[in-house]
Amino acid sequence: MRHQSKLDEGKIEKLVLFLRAIDSSNPERADKIRTEANYFENNAERMRYPQFRSQHLFVGTGVIEAGCKTVIGSRLKQSGMFWTVRGANSIIALRCARLVADSRTTGRRVGLDSHSYVAHPELEENQELLF
C-alpha cells in the first residue's frame, strides 16, 4: 500500500522501477514481483489515472459493474424470464445492433444510460444463467 500513490498519480514507470529494484532471495516471490512489474509496464497507458480523471472518466470498476448489472438485469431479469447464455447473448447483440443503428440516425451517443449491452465472451454457450 505504500506505493499506491504512484499508481494513483499515474507514475507507472516509477512503480515499475521500484518493483524491479526489489531483491528477493525467494524464487517464487521474485517471479511474482517480475510478473507484476511486467504487467504494470505493459499496461501503463491504461493506467494514466490522472489523465482519465481530468477527462471526467471513471477509473474504478464499480460504476461500470453496477451499470452493467442494472442495465442487463433490467432487460434479462424480468418476471418469468429464463435464459440460456446463447439466448441472452443473442438478445443483447440484437439490442446493441438496434442501439447503434438508432444512434447513427439520431446522432445520440449510445451509453449505459441508453441501455447498451455487452455479452461476456468467457461464458460457455450452453451454460444456464442464474437469475
What are φ and ψ of residue 76, in 5° steps?
-100, -10
User: pLDDT tens across 57-114, in order?
Assistant: 878 788 778 877 776 777 777 788 888 888 888 887 787 777 777 766 665 554 544 4
Enter the C-alpha cell of residue 131.
437469475
Q: Are 87 and 125 in contact (CB under 8 A)?
A: no
Distance CA 95, CA 90 (A): 9
User: Where exactly are the structural domains of the chain?
Assistant: 4-54, 62-114
Would you say the pTM of this structure is higher than 0.75? no
User: pLDDT tens across 10-52, in order?
Assistant: 889 999 999 999 988 999 999 999 999 999 999 998 888 899 8
